[in-house]
Amino acid sequence: MIGLQDVARAAGVSPATASRALHRPDLVALRTRERVEQAALELGYRPNVLARGLRTRGSRTIGLIVTDILNPFHATLAKGVQDAAEAQGYTVLMFNSDEQPDKERRALETLHGHLPMGLIVVPTARTRENLSVVAGLPTVELDRASGLDGAHTVMVDNVSGAREAVAHLLGLGHRHVGMIVGNLDISTARERLQGYREALEAAGLPYDDGLVLPGDHREQGGRLAALRLLSGRERPTALFVGNNEMTVGAVLAARELGLEIPGDLSLVGFDDSRWAQTMSPALSVVSQPTYDLGQLACQHLLSLIAGQSLPGSVRLPTRMVYRQSTAPATVLA
């Protein structure tokens, strides 16, 4: 490995000068600097990030923990974060928590040893406690809020997104609108449920516990919840599903039960995706600016690292996308 030593020797200067030439150009005579730069180039010098990080306690590295990289939503978040980080010369250490607090904790511990300069995390149910592992590290919570006091969060406006979706269904005349909600330990689930309730209230309809079922944010959980919800005697004629994977499950459940969409069942999902566009009928969804969310979180974090003080919480708007999975309620009277 080519070290700064080698560059210095080749340029006929001390390592100290070589170091300064490369990143504090104003402190070095022009001709010296040129010699060093030339030597560095010729030798293909790459600074040893470990040594530098050790000395400066600044690794130009940030940590990212998402809950499920296989979920395109999270993959897109990750891409947004990475692109923004790379643009500023930062490297991202990415981990998966698989929604498991234990894995999240281990990821945090591993991360801690790498001395990252900041952290972006999509919280799990126990992030609030887990974050003590990296206490003091600038941290941004992405997509969800752990509930930690004074935390910086970058999220979408879940309440109004959900409200709009449910209002749309109610506007079509549906009176039994079910919801598959997700794990209520997680802020997005709570907020989307809140939006659902607000829409009902605005329409003067009562909130019915029996129409709201939790899922586990995965396809299987969505499918099971939908099967139960749609097999009851008073089956809902419309369904609002709280995340993308569970929506797949709900579609599969409807097919299993022989329910036509949107004829027998109107469906709206939260978060858009490739399959939501290509399936038939194409799915109406609450679309999120996912990539922007990731980028913004990263920029926010980098500002934080730079010592700027920023508003604690950022909300991006969602956008309702109308496709073919919703239809007016048939009047059975």
Nearest residue (CB) to a second copy, 273 versus 326: 273
Amino acid at 296: L
Residue 70 binds a second copy (CB under 8 A): yes
Rounded to the nearest 5°, which phi and psi values hold at 194?
-55, -45
Residue 41 binds a second copy (CB under 8 A): no
Q: Which residue has the tokens 């969804």?
A: 285
Smallest distance from DNA to CB 63, Å = 18
Q: What is the DSSP letter of 32?
A: H
Interacting partner of 289 out of a second copy, DNA, none (Cβ under 5 to 8 A depending on kind)? none
Determine how many CB atoms are found less than 10 A away from the CB of residue 324.
13
Query: How far, CA to CA in Å, does 195 sit from each of 198, 215, 242, 284?
Result: 5, 17, 11, 17
Q: Which residue has the tokens 């296989």?
A: 70
Residue 48 binds a second copy (CB under 8 A): yes
What angle is formed at CA 205 by the lines to CA 203 and CA 207, rounded to 5 degrees? 125
Interface residue with DNA among 22, 43, 172, 316 (CB under 7 A) is 22
Query: How far, CA to CA in Å, does 25 sit from each of 19, 33, 52?
Result: 9, 7, 18
The region of 14-22, 88-96, 149-157, 206-214 touching a second copy under the rule CB under 8 A is 88-96
Ranges within 265-304 binding a second copy (CB under 8 A): 273-275, 278-280
The region of 21-29, 72-80, 234-242, 314-322 touching a second copy under the rule CB under 8 A is 72-80
The region of 44-52, 74-82, 208-216, 271-279 touching DNA under the rule CB under 7 A is 44-52
Residue 220 binds a second copy (CB under 8 A): no
Q: What is the bridge-based pairing of β-strands 152-156 and 177-180?
A: unpaired
Determine how many CB atoms are found less than 10 A away from the CB of residue 199.
24
Q: What is the bridge-based pairing of β-strands 319-321 and 313-316?
A: unpaired
Interface residue with a second copy among 22, 43, 94, 148 (CB under 8 A) is 94
Q: What is the bridge-based pairing of β-strands 266-270 and 319-321?
A: unpaired
Q: Which residues bind a second copy (CB under 8 A)?
A: 1, 44, 46-51, 53-54, 59, 69-70, 72, 75-76, 78-79, 82, 91-96, 109-110, 112-115, 133, 248, 251-252, 273-275, 278-280
Interface residues with DNA (CB under 7 A)?
A: 1, 3-5, 13-17, 19-20, 22-24, 27-33, 45, 47-48, 51-52, 54-57
